[in-house]
Structure 1
Amino acid sequence: MKFQQLTLEDKPLFDRFFKERRYENAHYNFTNLFMWRKAYNIKWTVEGKFLCVKACWEGETFFLPPFGPEEGLADVVEIMLEHAKEENFPFSFQGVEGYMVEWLEKIKPGYFSCKPERDNYDYVYLAKDLIELKGRKFHTKKNHVNSFRKTYSNYQYVPMTADMTQQCIDFMAAWCDERGCVKGDSLDCERNAIVDAMNHFTVLGFQGGAIFIDGKMAAFTYGEMNNNDTAVIHVEKGRKEFKGVYGVINQEFCAHNYQEALYINREEDMGIEGLRKAKESYHPVKMVEKYIVKVK
């Protein structure tokens, strides 16, 4: 297998593969892979009808499941198994959706072990729930949003344009300072990924929005349609000093961009307790389960 580094010029090819079948994993789109390509050393190659992606995080090399049809899967998996052996790293697929687990079991019964990655399950919500916040279960959320709007009655929601990207980059520098980022740590990697996306805003083609209070950016977010009925929110960042700003940027962005979507995927909680509580509090209607697949 001859892998190559991921570049901006690869977007049409990746977009073609991702549109050939339905993927629910929030990471399976070009924007997400591109913005994290440096942190994860993402490389790719095409084998027959399959797009194959390899990555490395904290010294562990792994594959994403091959993107393509069920037909021919056995052959490409054998090629990937052989590549891992040749390159001397333990074979594994990460971020595997449920249907792929079934496919792998069918082609090599009893060969693979499969472990759920609960910390990486994606939270999926009804778009109308996030936009309308209707009903008793969203009563507290609606109160927080209303309190913000009362406290900061002069706030403005502004759709993201290319001339706002530098403000988002500056925002992330301040965000990182607030949290004590250390060069090379996970927060620094996240900041760098977001900056990379902002620097390629026009070409990547995602949508975004920001909240301004007295001319100061208080929050920003961006996302895109991940499949025919589901939008994915890639990033949502707010300043701590503006209580309730996360709830408002979430509602405003979805209302401005995803009225026609059925679902909103707000990605995983990474096992962070506070983030898990926050994502559960919006009452997801389903979770996108993900698995790690290894050789037994």
Structure 2
Amino acid sequence: MNKNFTPVSLDGSRDFYDLWQRTPRRSLDYTLPNLWGWQEYYGLEWRFDGSLCWIRQTLPRPVCWAPVGDWNAVDWNHALWDSCTEAALDFIRVPEELLHIWQQALPGRVDAGEDRGQWEYLYAREDLARLPGNRFHKKKNHCNSYVKAYGEPDYRSLDDAMVEDVLAVQDDWCQWHECENSPSLRAENEAINRVLSHWDRFSGLDGGSLYVDGQM
């Protein structure tokens, strides 16, 4: 077993995506664009032991993230205690499904706390396509206002030619919000630029934008 952590890098993307496909509950935090985009800010490291990818955050303090892989094919009595011992057994961003697996495998040995700030917003794709009922009334009004002001949307999928436009809009947004005076916004801007500058290196990363009179 390799116990050496190395910085998250695109060179390990094939091994990571193989384990990612086996992960029972996949969340945005653990996508490769997110891990690699925030690698420098959080000092993110990983190591592969064949069945799991262990992830460790070194900044501002050492802490472990949940592993990526097939959680149901692991002997947690041994794996968990050997995973991030250099950083102490303090895990964050653990999906609820994995927490339940740990609690069943290690009764009385896993303490848990809830961080609602890490919850994700999830919508049904069909709902966002149709915007039915009162729940989506405000969103429907926004769409109608857009069409009234600009006509039918000119939507374009992300490609190499569009990246320069995206980065330019992001730069304008950042100047408007004075990112240089906000450590969190500055870090987010750096992560966005880092990922978009290599966007075609990520499997399944997609996006798009609206254009009005040829301008994003």
Q: State if a TM-score over 0.5 links the two structures.
A: yes
CA contact (8 A) 2:66 2:93 kept: yes
CA contact (8 A) 2:167 2:193 kept: yes
* Alpha-carbon distance between aligned partners in 2 of 1:6 and 1:26, rounded to the nearest angstrom: 16
- Pick the aligned partner of 1:74 from 72, 77, 80: 77
- Pick the aligned partner of 1:50 from 49, 52, 55: 52
Tell me: CA distance 1:81–1:9, structure 2 relative to 1, closer, same or farther (3 Å). closer
Identity of aligned residues (%): 24
CA contact (8 A) 1:47 1:76 kept: no
Structure 1: tracts of 5 or more residues without a match: 86-90, 218-296
* Alpha-carbon distance between aligned partners in 2 of 1:42 and 1:183, rounded to the nearest angstrom: 24
Alignment of 1:279-290 (within 5 A): none
Q: Report deviation, 1:194.
A: 0.9
Q: Which residue of 2 aligns with 1:215?
A: 214
CA contact (8 A) 2:131 2:140 kept: yes
Q: State the AA in 2 paired with 1:67.
A: V
TM-score (norm 1): 0.66
- Pick the aligned partner of 1:25 from 24, 27, 43: 27
Alignment of 1:99-138 (within 5 A): 99-138=97-136
Q: State the AA in 2 paired with 1:209.
A: G
Q: Which residue of 1 aligns with 2:61?
A: 60
More helix by share: 2
Q: Report deviation, 1:165.
A: 0.7
TM-score (norm 2): 0.89
* Alpha-carbon distance between aligned partners in 1 of 2:13 and 2:32, rounded to the nearest angstrom: 6
Structure 2: tracts of 5 or more residues without a match: none
Alignment of 1:1-296 (within 5 A): 1-57=3-59, 59-68=60-69, 69-70=71-72, 71-80=74-83, 82-85=85-88, 91-153=89-151, 155-182=153-180, 185-205=183-203, 206-217=205-216
Runs of 4+ in 1 over 4 A off after TM superposition: none
1:218-269 per-residue CA deviation (whole Å, 9 max, x = no partner) reads xxxxxxxxxxxxxxxxxxxxxxxxxxxxxxxxxxxxxxxxxxxxxxxxxxxx
Q: Report deviation, 1:77.
A: 1.0
Q: Report deviation, 1:154.
A: 6.5
3-state DSSP class of the match of 1:113? Answer: coil
* Alpha-carbon distance between aligned partners in 2 of 1:3 and 1:81, rounded to the nearest angstrom: 9
CA contact (8 A) 2:20 2:26 kept: no
* Alpha-carbon distance between aligned partners in 2 of 1:112 and 1:21, rounded to the nearest angstrom: 21
CA contact (8 A) 2:64 2:87 kept: no
Higher relative contact order (Cα pairs below 8 Å, separated by 6+ residues): 1
CA contact (8 A) 1:155 1:214 kept: no
Q: State the AA in 2 paired with 1:195.
A: N
* Alpha-carbon distance between aligned partners in 1 of 2:143 and 2:58, rounded to the nearest angstrom: 40
Q: CA RMSD in A?
A: 1.9
Q: Report deviation, 1:56.
A: 3.3
Q: State the AA in 2 paired with 1:216.
A: Q
* Alpha-carbon distance between aligned partners in 1 of 2:126 and 2:174, rounded to the nearest angstrom: 32
Q: State the AA in 2 paired with 1:113.
A: D
Q: Report deviation, 1:96.
A: 0.7
